Amino acid sequence: MWRPSERKVSEDFRPTWVEVDLEAIRHNARVLKPETAELMAVVKANGYGHGDVEVARAAIEAGATWCGVALVEEGLRLRSAGIEAPILVLSELPAGSEAVALAHRLTPTVYSDGGLERLASATRGPVPVHVKVDTGMHRVGIWPPEDAPAFARRAQEAGFEVEGLFTHFARSEEDEATTKEQLERFLDAADAARAAGVRPRVLHAANSGATILHPESHLDLVRPGIALYGIEPAPGIGAHLGLCPALTWRSRVSAVKRLPAGEAVSYGHRYRLERDAWLATVPVGYADGYPRQLTNLGSVLIGGRRHGIAGTVTMDQLLVDCADEEIQVGEEVVLIGNQGDDTIGADELGRLIGTIGYEIVSRVGDRVPRRYG
Ligand SMILES: *Cc1c(COP(=O)(O)O)cnc(C)c1O
């Protein structure tokens, strides 16, 4: 499979790239790992766009003992890269993937009788599984939670080792009461499972928001994703931890022209210059994952200063109004990250267009090479 991170820098003819600071990942892993609980590095969606293998390795160096993925395919990528840590597939295995997942020692999640049966017919011998309980997210998992103990018991009787029992919070970064209620439902289910003779070694619940805000939810293992990358799960959440954003998205100015007041630019002429201005072209577009909705809204850093996007973001290029600053071709452009004294965060871009930092970073495309430092 084509892997951007395996391309040589010399092949990156277009000067647009993402830098991932693996020391920032290690720092974040260290500050997020509780003393009393294990740390799972959630590296689904190519490590939220940062590069799953590299992030997983860095997090493991810093104390993570588990990796979490959404897809069997993602788990297989980690295994092919030689990652030996246990890897939990966070939802039930798709039908037909059981044999290959087990052959590569991916840990399955189970929550349906069908899923359990398919898994049982794909395996000989005791395989560790994690049972997911729906306590209020209502996406996947056993609902109602009261049904979880009997299900876990059936899994055990089918010969599986119920190694884990877990749940997922819907509002951990924004609402304490809902989170407490979900945790209560989960702990009740865990107690009832124990009473039914199932003794999962690992209870887990905490995503980034809960890892940061709700120590009582840490249990045996925490599963932060976004915070591992140094992005706050919601504004201000985690500020006291000193999380370091790991991703910087850079490019270089590819063309510059001086235009007179009154000229309009890019598709649809949606931006008209009010004054004579220097206009810079940057070779990044929506096909790279830079949202087209940032048309006339986003800004970039050039020469240590913030400049607004002028007109429509196109597939491969965007335009920047640099006003009276005479920009040079080849000057560095920061789309996400620091330059001079200013910073553009993924969450800032997300807020501008009604989404979150998670979506901004996870959509940075394969066409943008990742460099690691
Ligand atoms: C994505 C995911 C996480 C990580 O969530 P963050 O909000 O990024 O910390 C944890 N657990 C499960 C089940 C997930 O799907």
Angle, nearest 10°, between helix axes 52-61 and 22-32? 50
For the Cβ of 90 lying below 6 angstroms from any atom of ligand 1, the answer is yes
For the Cβ of 207 lying below 6 angstroms from any atom of ligand 1, the answer is yes
Spacing, Cα 38 to ligand 1 middle (Å): 15
Alpha helices in 16-51 (DSSP H): 22-32, 44-48
- Which residue CA neighbors atom 8 of ligand 1 most closely? 225
Q: How many CB atoms lie within 10 A of CB 44?
A: 18
Would you say 4 and 37 are in contact if contact means Cβ atoms under 8 Å apart? no
Spacing, Cα 224 to ligand 1 middle (Å): 6
Q: For position 2, what pLDDT does the model report? A: 47
Strand partners, 302: 305, 333
- Which residue CA neighbors atom 6 of ligand 1 most closely? 225
- Residue 323: both structure tokens together: 């006003």
Q: What angle do CA 18, 53, 137 make, to 5 degrees?
A: 95
If one residue of 32, 42, 88, 131 were mutated to test the ligand 1 pocket, choosing by the most ligand atoms within 8 A of its CB, it would be 42
Domains of the chain: 22-228 (3.20.20.10), 247-372 (2.40.37.10)
Q: What angle do CA 153, 159, 163 make, to 5 degrees?
A: 65
Q: What share of the chain is helix, strand, coil (3-state, %, to 5)?
A: 35, 25, 40
Would you say 367 and 2 are in contact if contact means Cβ atoms under 8 Å apart? no
Tens-binned pLDDT, residue by residue, of the chain (373 aa): 445 555 555 568 999 999 999 999 999 999 999 999 999 999 999 999 999 999 999 999 999 999 999 999 999 999 999 999 999 999 999 999 999 999 999 999 999 999 999 999 999 779 999 999 999 999 999 999 999 999 999 999 999 999 999 999 999 999 999 999 999 999 999 999 999 999 999 999 999 999 999 999 999 999 999 999 999 999 999 999 999 999 999 999 999 999 999 999 999 999 999 999 999 999 999 999 999 999 999 999 999 999 999 999 999 999 999 999 999 999 999 999 999 999 999 999 999 999 999 999 999 999 999 999 9
What 3-state DSSP class applies to 321?
strand
Q: For position 1, what pLDDT does the model report? A: 44
Q: For position 19, what pLDDT does the model report? A: 98
Rounded to the nearest angstrom, the gap between the alpha carbon of residue 143 and the centroid of all alpha carbons in its chain is: 26
DSSP state string for 168-229: --SSTTT-HHHHHHHHHHHHHHHHHHHHTT---SEEEEE-HHHHHH-GGG-TTEE--SGGGG
Q: For position 4, what pLDDT does the model report? A: 52
Q: For position 5, what pLDDT does the model report? A: 53
Q: For position 12, what pLDDT does the model report? A: 80
For the Cβ of 168 lying below 6 angstroms from any atom of ligand 1, the answer is yes
Burial of 119 (0-12, 13-18, 19+ CB in 10 A): buried
CA distances, 163 to each of 41, 91, 181 (Å): 18, 15, 24
If one residue of 168, 174, 217, 228 were mutated to test the ligand 1 pocket, choosing by the most ligand atoms within 8 A of its CB, it would be 168
